[in-house]
Structure 1
Amino acid sequence: MTIPTAGGSGERSAVAAAARTVTKAYGSGETKVLALDCVDVDIASSRFTAIMGPSGSGKSTLMHCLAGLDTVTEGRIWVGDTEITGLKDKRLTQLRRDKIGFIFQSFNLLPTLNAAENITLPMDIAGRKVDRDWFERVVETVGIGGRLKHRPTQLSGGQQQRVAVARALAARPEIIFGDEPTGNLDSRAGAEVLGFLRRSVDELGQTIVMVTHDPVAASYADRVLYLADGRIVDEMQNPTAESVLERMKSFDGRGRTS
């Protein structure tokens, strides 16, 4: 199915996920809250996209809707060529398992499994054979080759998050979503994990979408989307920590600034 163009008439690069006129409302009547307000966005394949905005701007809601973790009130969402709005629960679960990877602020590793077993767990559950060459390449990319036999309690926070990153990459999903993936890490460990995510895009061709409030984290991305009041109000290509910080300072919460 063809994804409608998100405004403009120029050619678009390959799209890993897309939203068209997406609205997400909570409550009704006087208590109704619009978390997303008619959002159009394309997420380019093999690129690193960061989503930023003030608290309550809708950035996590947008990510959850794009990932099929939350439903939309109005509008349409695609992952690759598959429209996920209206999919039955079983089909949506299968699509998330086969095409989407997740990295969360909490590492979500099983304490009874070692690092290697945690990495291959999603594929084991799905009954899929592990591609050993790809597994070894991912392990090398995130730098945990010497820790594969260790259980989570034997790993530092940074090492646990590297395992979580490897788990997301190992299944070769079409797109990986990260919700504040370095939020529980100190600055050094956070920089390491962000470096691995950057390398996964540059060297492995991965597509990553990351919600963050940190200008330094956002500077690892190719593109930053800014949300305010449930709308995308600006974007920045090839960001630096300084340019992101300046843009955030200029927010008035109501959209573009002069």
Structure 2
Amino acid sequence: MSASAAAETSAATHEPSSAPTSPVKGRPDLVRVAARVVDLHKVYGKGEAEVRALDGVSIDIARGEFTAIMGPSGSGKSTMMHCAAGLDGVTSGEVYIGDVDITRLKDKALTTLRRDRIGFVFQSFNLIPTLNAQENILLPLAIAGRKPDPAWFDTVIDTVGLRDRLSHRPSELSGGQQQRVACARALVSRPEIVFADEPTGNLDSTSGAEVLGFLRRSVDEFDQTIVMVTHDPVAAAHTDRVVFLADGHVVDEMREPTAEKILERMKRLDVRVRPDSAGA
């Protein structure tokens, strides 16, 4: 490895920062954040075509918690997640994974950090059709040249209930089973944080409940940290905390959410932003 590559890899895991720690409301034992965005701005286009998808967003994501990001269409929730996960660049602001400001990393170091410290679950599953379930689950580790921890692999497989489907390809699995494969793939490398973008969006209610139950269990039993973008109040009700965005701003949050309370809050947000967002 060259000196420059080694320096980048080191930066991805050891770069110091001034990102402070903070206690989680109601849980003073949790004093560190898994991820943080600070005064985050994301602008697309210029001049009359300019769109401010994010306009000064600041959010702390606590370790060991399940957080939902919600908001009306065009509120910036998916953009925020993509920036926080290092999948999209920022116009200005800071994005931390642990104590690393990923906006300062070069491409190679950012790729290494995403591979080693972040898990992803997407609405479209993103499975490789020519690989079976087990091969899809282990693909990120294979790319990284790492072997799975056998005990942890068995724990993940049994938790998602796919032991008898590991030899099946995606086309031989239901939508819910495919998404559980995607969830297992996100967790098998034991990432510091998992970002899930509408993970139940393509699933029926039964399959969606299975996936949400697995995500909830991974937080409660394995101390996983999960951030989920969703438009579904029922899905968000599985989380510990809901953060609401509107027009690129954080406008509210809720702890101990229920579907009814979330739906009422979303209705108020939708009415509030509709007059200013008709063309968004």
**TM-score normalized by structure 1?**
0.94
Residue of structure 2 in register with 1:193 after alignment: 211
Matched, 1:126 2:121: no
Aligned residues: 252
Partner AA of 2:231 in structure 1: H
Task: Give the superposition deviation at 1:4.
Answer: 4.3
Residue of structure 2 in register with 1:79 after alignment: 97
Residue of structure 2 in register with 1:70 after alignment: 88
Task: Give the superposition deviation at 1:5.
Answer: 6.7
1:14-66 Cα distance to aligned partner (Å, 9 max, x none) = 20100111111111223221110111110001100000000000000000000
1:104-144 Cα distance to aligned partner (Å, 9 max, x none) = 01111112211111111100110011101000001111111
**Contact conserved, 2:21 with 2:32, CA < 8 A, in 1?**
no
Alpha-carbon distance in structure 2 between the residues aligned to 1:253 and 1:73: 26
Q: SS of the counterpart of 2:202?
A: coil
Residue of structure 2 in register with 1:166 after alignment: 184
Partner AA of 1:167 in structure 2: R
Q: Which aligned runs of 4 or more in structure 1 are off by greater than 4 angstroms?
A: none
**More helix, by proportion:** 2
**Contact conserved, 1:227 with 1:234, CA < 8 A, in 2?**
yes
Residue of structure 1 in register with 2:202 after alignment: 184
**Contact conserved, 1:77 with 1:83, CA < 8 A, in 2?**
yes
Map 1:1-80 to 2 at 5 A.
Answer: 1-4=17-20, 13-80=31-98
- Unaligned segments of structure 2, at least 5 residues: 1-16, 275-280
**CA spacing shift, 1:214–1:129, aligned 2, 3 Å:** same
Alpha-carbon distance in structure 2 between the residues aligned to 1:114 and 1:31: 44
**Contact conserved, 2:70 with 2:244, CA < 8 A, in 1?**
yes
User: Structure 1 vs Structure 2: percent identity of aligned residues?
Assistant: 67
Alpha-carbon distance in structure 2 between the residues aligned to 1:133 and 1:97: 21
Residue of structure 2 in register with 1:245 after alignment: 263
Matched, 1:150 2:168: yes
- Unaligned segments of structure 1, at least 5 residues: none
Partner AA of 1:90 in structure 2: K
Partner AA of 2:71 in structure 1: G
Moved more, 125-134 or 23-32: 23-32
Q: Cα RMSD between the aligned structures? A: 1.6
1:141-180 Cα distance to aligned partner (Å, 9 max, x none) = 1111111111111111111111100000101110000110
**Contact conserved, 2:42 with 2:53, CA < 8 A, in 1?**
yes
